Structure formats: structure tokens, C-alpha cells
Chain A
Amino acid sequence: MEYEPVIGLEVHCELKTKTKLFCGCPTTFGNEANTQVCPICLGLPGTLPVMNAKAVEFAVKIGHALNCAISKYSKMDRKNYYYPDLPKAYQISQYDKPLNYAGYLEVPLKEGMKRIGITRAHLEEDAGKLVHAGGKAGRLDSSDYSLADYNRGGIPLVEIVSEPDIRSADEAYAYLTELKNILLYIDVSDCNMEEGSLRCDANVSVRPKGTEKFGTKAEIKNMNSFRFAKQAIEYEIKRQVALLEKGERVVQESRLWDVTENKTKPMRSKEEAHDYRYFPEPDLVPIVLSEDYVKKLKGQLPELPGAKRARFASKYGLTPYDAGVLTSEQELAQWFEEGAKHTKNPKGLANWIMGDMAAKMKEQEKELKDLKFDQKKLCELVDLIDAGTINSKQAKEVFAEMFDAGVSPAEVVKSRDMAQVSDPKAIEGAVDKVLAENPSVVADYKGGKQGVIGFLVGKVMQASQGKANPKLVNEILKKKLDS
């Protein structure tokens, strides 16, 4: 039987506000444990939360960017559960009135765009971090002791929940990539997975292809990169299909992705199956947003990756793929677009950016801000090629020098005396000379071995020290030989 996976993703995105969601503590990553805490984020008795307005602003921007309906009236709720990383023993989150709901994301796939529904994107606080010493597998219940660091506790998060619209691990990967790109574009999160500012859980089930009813799902947690997410989902689909093929059942449970074994493994059931006893957070007033405020934030959104991609493709004559690469980072897209103003051949510019420039940047671990040349210089190079001043082989040398030393391509061409000879008379002289020196080859050609023309072109190029316009050389040679 053929099976179809059904996947929904939950992404937690840490907002890059300067201070935490309910207190004035800084949100900097990586500082010494418990140095960014106060009575409020430690949940000391008597303290009260106060909402960070910037966090609401960022959350609403996420809602807009994901085409969500924005609640004019939403509220915070308490999600009650015991865990030592949660100082109040409840997380302040949103339950039945999320800030953003009913949105969607257009995800570029090989076969075209796919719309994936966004159920909700709500605001909540992050928990602290535990470090377990001794015992097995770094788990709380088997450790000798555990250390708690509350620096992260209370940092604002937006949880973005997708509809179960995703049908493969590749689609999940594409969704995550696009989502991250959007979050970076609207500048609300660092999306740094190593630092945990973007985290992802996946709900995965399979069903016989062509049926409507969802299969039993498993929730996969602990996927610390998009690559792991893809691997974990692929594994989980195979595991579930294999179970069904054997006539067994899928158990509804939470599973962890084990990076060392490349497997998903069930979590201990004790750590799940909660009744969170949600109820409205009485210490905070409801979040009431005016129409003007919501509109104003929409107006502040930059052009989003999807729109930019479409515009690049049509305006600059790029393939969807190229447009996708150039818009994959906002800075790169800006760099390209600024450059496109200086050349008549933006496609040529795009090719250089994605080709030699990207390769060299990767090789030398450089970022755009480290480049020694600007867009104007790269455009100069494109134009020199288009004008036939240098050929593509020379262009690579010119590019290399520009990349390393920042000199302008025109200067390189001049200093190295590279300018391509495109004067037919000068080339004719050289051609005549080569023809005279190689009578046997000429005879071969006339005898029908037309392929030997390449040898003759090479000889002419050699004679011109590579500067002759190869296209012209070819034309003149042909004319003379065929006459």
C-alpha cells in the first residue's frame, strides 16, 4: 500500500527584544548562569509580570508576515505544570485567544509554490535551562544532580503552529527555511538554532494514500537543526509505515530525535500526558490593540521573501531558482538590487554573485560586509565582458584580483594589458600568418576535417597572447578557409 505522511510543525521563535517578556532583565545569550535574573523572572513570591510592549509589536509583525488574522482582543493564560526550569510552575502563554490565527505561508517547492496553513502564532515566555550531571542520557530523573540557569526564563517566544498541510520531510524543510527567512526579514528574531532562538517540534502521522482520516500521530521533539528535522521526519515516516505494514499500531506519544543513533525514541510517558489546567492569567490585563496600531505595524513590514522573489524574477529576468537564492538573505538581496542599478545585465550580475563571488566568499569565510569591492566594480566587470573587452577566462582572473585587492576591473584590464583585440584587421593579419604556417592543417580542413578549426583558433589566440576576441577569430578563420 502507498502511504501519505501528514505533518504539522510547531516552531518556537525567541524574539530579539532587549528585555524579557515581563521584566527588565536583559536577553543576551551566553552570559554566566543566573546573572540575568530578577525577582520577577525568578517567580519569587509576590512578584507580578508586566507585559513588554515591544514583544507584542514583534508578535503582531509575525502575524502580519504570516498572513494571520490579528486579534484586537487577546489575553494571556497560565499553563500549569511542574518542572524545575519553570520558576512559577506555570508558563504564561496564550490558550484560547491567541494574538495571531488563521494565516498561511507560501512555500517554494521544486514543483511550484505550496500554501501551508498557519493555525496560530501566539506569545509566551521561555523557560530556564537545566544541566544534568551524572546519570544517563542527560535526563533529570536519572542525574546525580541538576543545575538550573534562569537567564533564558522569561525571554519572549512566539509559538508558530502550522496546519497539518505538510506532506514530506522535504516540504517540512522548505517550510522551515522559508519561515526562518521571513522572521529574519522582519527582524524580530536572530533565528539562531545553536543558541536555541529557533526550535522546532513536528507532529507526524501517516495514512493510506487517498484516504481522508488522519493516522495516529507522534510528536517529535529535540530537533536542533533543520537538517535534523528533515532526518527525524524521514525516519519517523518510515518507522510508522513499517509498523502499519506489519499490521501494528502507531502509539500516540512524544518522541525524541537521537542525534547519535539517528533514530526517534519514545520519551518517558511520565514527562508528558499533562493536564495543563489552563486559565486566564489574572496578573495581566487583556491585550487590546487598536485598528490603527495593527495597521501601522503592517505598514512597517519590509518586502517579504516571497514577494521579493517574484519581483526579482520578473524585473530582472531571473529564474525562480536564482531569484530564490538571491532573496534567501535580505542583505544579499539588497546587495544585488543596489548593483542591478549599475548594469544593463542584471542576470549577468546575478550569475557572478551566485557563482564566483559566492564560492570565494565561502572559501574565505567572508561576509558581504567584508568585501573589498562594491557592486559598481562587479557591474564594471559584467559590462567589460558584455562589451567584448575581455573574454570569460580573462574575466575570472580580473574577478580574482578585484576580490583580493579591491581594484577596479577596468584597471586590472589596463594594467595587465588584457583588452581583447576586436579589430578585424589586426586579427586578419594574425590569421593569415597562422594559415601560412600550417598548410597541412589547412589541407585537412579543406579535405573535410572541419574540427581542426579549433587547433587553428588556438594558434591565433596564442599568437595574440590570448587577447584576440575568440568569436571574431573563429569567424575570420572560417571565412578565409571556406573562401
Chain B
Amino acid sequence: MKNELLEKTIHEVSADLKAKKVSSVELTKAALDYLEEIEPKVQSFITITRDEALRRAAEADKRLASGKDVTPLTGVPIAIKDLLCTKGIRTTCASRMLETFKPPYDATVVEKLYQAGAVSVGKTNMDEFAMGSSTETSFYKKTKNPWNLNCVPGGSSGGSAACVSAGQAFASLGSDTGGSIRQPAALCGIVGLKPTYGRVSRYGLIAFASSLDQVGPFGKDVEDCAIMLGAIAGHDPMDSTSADVPVPDYAAEAKKGIKGLKIGIPKEFFPEGMNREVSVAVKDAIAQLKSLGAETVEVSLPSSPYGLAAYYVLAPSEASSNLARYDGVRYGLRIPGENIVEMYSKTRAAGFGPEVKRRIMLGTYALSSGYYDAYYVKALKVRRLIKQDYDKAFEKVDVIATPTCPNPAFRFGEKTGDPLSMYLEDIFTVSINITGLPGLSVPCGMSKSGLPIGLQLIGKAFDEATLLRTAWAYEQATEWHKQKPALKEE
């Protein structure tokens, strides 16, 4: 049975915790019980950490009792994508390769959440090494979309999105390399935010593509997302690519209204023949923003059609190098061989799934001598051009609004046979990773078959506040975020 407390948002339940209407241990128990009850249906988690969660909840209760260092996250059950290192708790990246890997350290973002008093209930399912858009490439399980259990939750952070949507956790952390937070947020009907590259530390995030990866939050609403972002953002001396830029009070910033805000509408993101339900929902959302006092301006991002191609050179190139360390020598899976080369190849053949292997091969090829200039260097040039497009657009506007994905959630197996059709799922999200800009997805509609649709908002570098402000204003005027999934097959 779902405890009604679990229907609440963080900003609501946090007030209950502070007012001692409920203890963190009670809340965490309720969350874990419900989590385990519906887990067979949703399958959001690779590892559930009940004991660890209850221990942290008890600590949080002490903190709440003392009234010292209490944050909006103190005592609140959250979940963590299984590519963020957790000390002593296995971190698998949904790969057989790391089935037994227990990191000896916590990722900076995990440490920050613990410091804020958050209670982690477990590690969520994902596409293997974050490579995929449906969470189907996980070695362990297929996470279901809570709105229709026959559909995918999106990916790669599918578990993190599904668990928040289904009420297994109040919020979660995901990572976004080409859309892996925004797309599942859209498909599961919740809010997901990919921060500016460098806004959040990557230390302890198991790398897929280092120059694109960014950790970000999922929340039931915009304010929860703002609270989560505030807790994890900031410079980290352990990550030299994290930026030393002040962290505003995002939850407060979100509520400042959007009068006079200029919203750019890029025509390239509304191509001929696109899904009508998606385009109607997104256009309605833009009209809604206008009615709330924003201005809309047509902008052009002419290089964006090349974003996907550049992305599928850059991301696999970096991945081919990042994943080379899984060689069976020091940790993780090892399949013995007659000699070292045989051990390497047997280990990697058994440890990685087909999508990971495909991307390693793509990347290895793109970086090979003789091909490097034609692929990698050219992709870098495209990256610069796309960046210039956005810089130019942001001279005129404060925010850019687009659909998050071309379609609502699709069925299991629908795209697994055709990698290219799966890659096209990222068409509206990848260029934001390529430019390093922040992007957010907020629910903006429902398809006729009852599947959520997401509005993507793109902001200037380190201006997450304006994204949250826009999405919060929209959310106040609409009810999409209040709808709850039925956890039913269609």
C-alpha cells in the first residue's frame, strides 16, 4: 500500500519532517516497503540498500531532533544511479563487467547528498555504462515505464526516472551525456535537469564520455529539482573541469516569475512530419509561457542537424578510451586466458554487452590513425559551430524551448534491432551536451495513449536558475506534474 506521505514532494515532506509529524525512519521504512512492493513491476533498482538507508535515516532523525544542519533533504529518501560510486556499496554501471565492484570511495555528489542528510534507498538501473535511450541495455533487468509497463522508461537513467515517477523515492540522481536525464524525465512524466558542464562535480561518476557527462537531478516537480541541484552543485577540487561559479539558492530563484523573459523557438526542432501529439503539446506549452508574460522569438540553430552525427563520433571516441581500463587485471570481471591478450579479450567479450561493444568499436575506429582527422577532428569542428549557433541565439533570448524527445515512450524491443532509430531518440537533446549548456525537461502533456510528453528548456551556461524559473512558472499554471502513473500494463 502506498503511504500517502509518498505522494508528497520534497518541499512538502521536508516540512513534515521538521515539524516532527513523521520521522525519517518512518518515512524511509514506508518508502522502502512500497519500493519493494512495486519493484517486481517497475524494476527500477539494481541494488536496494535497506539497512544502510535505515541507518542514515536514524542519523537524520538525530539531526532533525537537534535542529542543527537541517536541510530540505535531511531525512528524505532518494535514489542514486548505479554509475555514481558509493563507498562499500557495489556500483555496477548495469554491466556484468562491474557486477562485483565495490568502490572504496563516494562520488562527490553522493558525499554532498549525505552531508545534506539525504537517505539513499538504493542504486538505480540504467543502460549499460549509460549507453542507450531505453535502459534496455542493462545487464540486469528491464525497467518499466510506470505509465505503461509495456513501454520503456527512456534512458540511460531509466531507473532513476521510473523510481521517482512511481513514488519509490522522492528524488534521484542521474547522469546525462546525450539526453540521459531529460529524455527519461520526459518519458516518465517528471522533471529532470542536466546542469551546465562543470556545474556539478564528475568525481566518482563512472565516465562514459568525459567531455559530455554531467550529473543531475530528477524530481517530482521543479522545486524538488532545484533543491537537489543546490545540494550537488559547486566547484570540486577533485574535478578540474568543475567550475568555480557561485551556487545560487535555486529554489528561491525558481519562484521569481517570468515576466519579460525572452524565449527562443528554434525552427530546426519542429521539423516537418514530426510526431503531432508532441508538437502540439510543446506548442501549447510555449503559448502558456507567453500568457504568463514571456515573449517568444524565433531563433535559428542551423548547425543542429549535425549534432547527432558529431555526438556519435565524440561520445564513442571518449568511451573507447574510458572503458579500456576494464581489462580484468585489477577489479571487476576476469575470464582467465592462456596469456594476457587472451585474458583481455575473453574478459571484455564476456563483460560488455552488444551496445557497449558497438560504441567501443565506433570510437576506436574514429580515433585510429588515418581516420582521426576525418571523424574526430571534424566532429570537434561541428561542436564549435553548434556552440556558435547557441551563443548567437542567446544574444537575443534568455531561454530556448523545444520538445525533449521526438516521441513519447516506445515499447520494449521496438528500437533495439535498429541502433540508428534508437540514436535518433537523442536528436533534440545531444546538442545541449555538445555545447555544455544546461537543459531541463518538464512535463507538458499526455499522449492519447496516456504517455507523458516533455518540454525541453535550454539555458545559458551556468544559468540553471532561469531554466528553473521558467519551468516553475509553467508548472504553477498547469497540472501535468500532479498526475500519477497507474503502474499498469495497457
CB of B330 within 8 A of chain A? yes
**Contacts A39-B103, A45-B91, A50-B237 known; A141 to B325 CB distance under 8 Å?**
no
Cβ-neighbour of B210 out of A50, A141, A146, A283 (below 8 A): A283
CB of B190 within 8 A of chain A? no
Question: For chain B residues 28-72, which have a beta carbon within 8 Å of chain A?
Answer: none
A121 to B335, CA, bound (A): 40
A141 to B344, CA, bound (A): 13
Contacting pair A141 B340 (CB below 8 A) = yes
A275 to B370, CA, bound (A): 10
Contacting pair A282 B203 (CB below 8 A) = no
Q: Produce 1/0 per residue, B327-343, CB < 8 A to A.
A: 10111000000011100
A270 to B341, CA, bound (A): 10
Question: For chain A residues 142-174, which have a beta carbon within 8 Å of chain B?
Answer: 146, 148
Cβ-neighbour of B103 out of A44, A84, A279, A282 (below 8 A): A44
Q: Determine the interface band of chain A, counting residues with CB < 8 A from chain B.
A: 20 to 34
In this complex, how many residues of chain B approach chain A with their Cβ under 8 Å: the count is 45
B206: A residues at CB distance < 8 A: 45-46
CB of B74 within 8 A of chain A? no
CB of B19 within 8 A of chain A? no
Q: Produce 1/0 per residue, B319-330, CB < 8 A to A.
A: 011001101011
Question: At the interface with chain A, which of B238-246, B437-445, B451-459?
Answer: B238-246
Q: Produce 1/0 per residue, B403-417, CB < 8 A to A.
A: 000000000000000
A419 to B218, CA, bound (A): 96
A90 to B325, CA, bound (A): 8
CB of B101 within 8 A of chain A? yes
Cβ-neighbour of A87 out of B240, B325, B340 (below 8 A): B325
**Contacts A44-B104, A82-B344, A277-B369 known; A50 to B324 CB distance under 8 Å?**
no
Question: For chain A residues 187-237, which have a beta carbon within 8 Å of chain B?
Answer: none
Contacting pair A46 B317 (CB below 8 A) = no
Q: Produce 1/0 per residue, B72-86, CB < 8 A to A.
A: 000000000001110
B101: A residues at CB distance < 8 A: 45
Contacting pair B98 A45 (CB below 8 A) = yes
A278: B residues at CB distance < 8 A: 367
Cβ-neighbour of A46 out of B207, B329, B340 (below 8 A): B207
User: Smallest CB-CB separation from B329: which chain A residue?
Assistant: A84
Q: Shortest Cβ distance from A278 into chain B, in angstroms? A: 8
Contacting pair A279 B367 (CB below 8 A) = yes
A350: B residues at CB distance < 8 A: none
A44: B residues at CB distance < 8 A: 103-105, 331
Contacting pair A283 B241 (CB below 8 A) = yes
CB of A358 within 8 A of chain B? no
User: Smallest CB-CB separation from B85: which chain A residue?
Assistant: A46
A283 to B341, CA, bound (A): 28
**Contacts A82-B344, A140-B340 known; A48 to B318 CB distance under 8 Å?**
no
CB of A88 within 8 A of chain B? yes
User: Smallest CB-CB separation from A279: which chain B residue?
Assistant: B367
Q: Produce 1/0 per residue, B364-389, CB < 8 A to A.
A: 10011100100010000000000000
CB of A266 within 8 A of chain B? no
CB of B9 within 8 A of chain A? no
Contacting pair B202 A48 (CB below 8 A) = yes
A48 to B101, CA, bound (A): 18
A43 to B323, CA, bound (A): 11
B318: A residues at CB distance < 8 A: 279, 282
Contacting pair A148 B329 (CB below 8 A) = yes
Contacting pair A282 B340 (CB below 8 A) = no
A89 to B107, CA, bound (A): 22
Question: For chain B residues 84-115, which have a beta carbon within 8 Å of chain A?
Answer: 84-85, 91, 93, 98, 101, 103-105, 107
Q: Shortest Cβ distance from A136 into chain B, in angstroms? A: 14
CB of A450 within 8 A of chain B? no
User: Smallest CB-CB separation from B209: which chain A residue?
Assistant: A282
CB of A80 within 8 A of chain B? yes
Cβ-neighbour of A45 out of B103, B210, B241, B327 (below 8 A): B103
A89 to B205, CA, bound (A): 18
User: Smallest CB-CB separation from B210: which chain A residue?
Assistant: A282
CB of B288 within 8 A of chain A? no
CB of A354 within 8 A of chain B? no
CB of A16 within 8 A of chain B? no
User: Smallest CB-CB separation from A150: which chain B residue?
Assistant: B330
CB of B192 within 8 A of chain A? no
Q: Shortest Cβ distance from A376 into chain B, in angstroms? A: 52
CB of B211 within 8 A of chain A? yes
Q: Produce 1/0 per residue, B352-370, CB < 8 A to A.
A: 0000000000001001110
CB of B184 within 8 A of chain A? no
Contacting pair B364 A282 (CB below 8 A) = no
A90: B residues at CB distance < 8 A: 321, 324
Contacting pair B325 A89 (CB below 8 A) = yes
B329: A residues at CB distance < 8 A: 84, 87, 148
Contacting pair A46 B204 (CB below 8 A) = yes
B98: A residues at CB distance < 8 A: 45
Q: Shortest Cβ distance from A268 into chain B, in angstroms? A: 12
A443: B residues at CB distance < 8 A: none
A275 to B320, CA, bound (A): 14
A307 to B56, CA, bound (A): 66
Contacting pair B238 A48 (CB below 8 A) = yes
User: Smallest CB-CB separation from A80: which chain B residue?
Assistant: B321
User: Smallest CB-CB separation from A281: which chain B residue?
Assistant: B210
Contacting pair B324 A42 (CB below 8 A) = no
A275: B residues at CB distance < 8 A: 368-369
User: Smallest CB-CB separation from B318: which chain A residue?
Assistant: A282
Contacting pair A46 B107 (CB below 8 A) = yes
CB of A284 within 8 A of chain B? yes
A80: B residues at CB distance < 8 A: 320-321, 324, 367
A51 to B364, CA, bound (A): 26
CB of A78 within 8 A of chain B? yes
CB of A177 within 8 A of chain B? no
Cβ-neighbour of A50 out of B91, B238, B368 (below 8 A): B238
Q: Produce 1/0 per residue, A83-126, CB < 8 A to B.
A: 01001111000000000000000000000000000000000000
Q: Produce 1/0 per residue, B298-333, CB < 8 A to A.
A: 000000000000000000011011001101011100
Contacting pair A283 B103 (CB below 8 A) = no
A84 to B343, CA, bound (A): 11
Q: Produce 1/0 per residue, A274-307, CB < 8 A to B.
A: 0101110011110000000000000000000000
Q: Shortest Cβ distance from B377 into chain A, in angstroms? A: 9
A391 to B317, CA, bound (A): 79
A438: B residues at CB distance < 8 A: none
Contacting pair A46 B241 (CB below 8 A) = no
Can you offer 30 A-B residue contacts whose CB atoms are under 8 A? A39-B104, A43-B325, A44-B105, A45-B85, A45-B93, A45-B98, A45-B206, A46-B107, A46-B205, A46-B207, A50-B239, A80-B324, A84-B327, A84-B329, A88-B324, A88-B325, A148-B329, A148-B330, A277-B367, A278-B367, A279-B318, A279-B372, A279-B376, A282-B210, A282-B211, A282-B241, A283-B207, A283-B210, A283-B240, A284-B241
Q: Which 7 pairs of residues, A with B, have the shortest CB-CB distance?
A: A89-B324, A282-B210, A282-B211, A277-B367, A45-B206, A46-B204, A46-B85
Which residues from chain A sit less than 8 Å from chain B, CB to CB?
Answer: 39, 42-51, 78, 80, 82, 84, 87-90, 140-141, 146, 148, 270, 275, 277-279, 282-285
Which residues from chain B sit less than 8 Å from chain A, CB to CB?
Answer: 83-85, 91, 93, 98, 101, 103-105, 107, 202-207, 209-211, 237-241, 317-318, 320-321, 324-325, 327, 329-331, 339-341, 344, 364, 367-369, 372, 376
Starting from the known contacts A50-B240, A82-B324, 4 additional A-B residue pairs (CB-CB under 8 Å) come to A44-B331, A48-B240, A84-B327, A284-B240
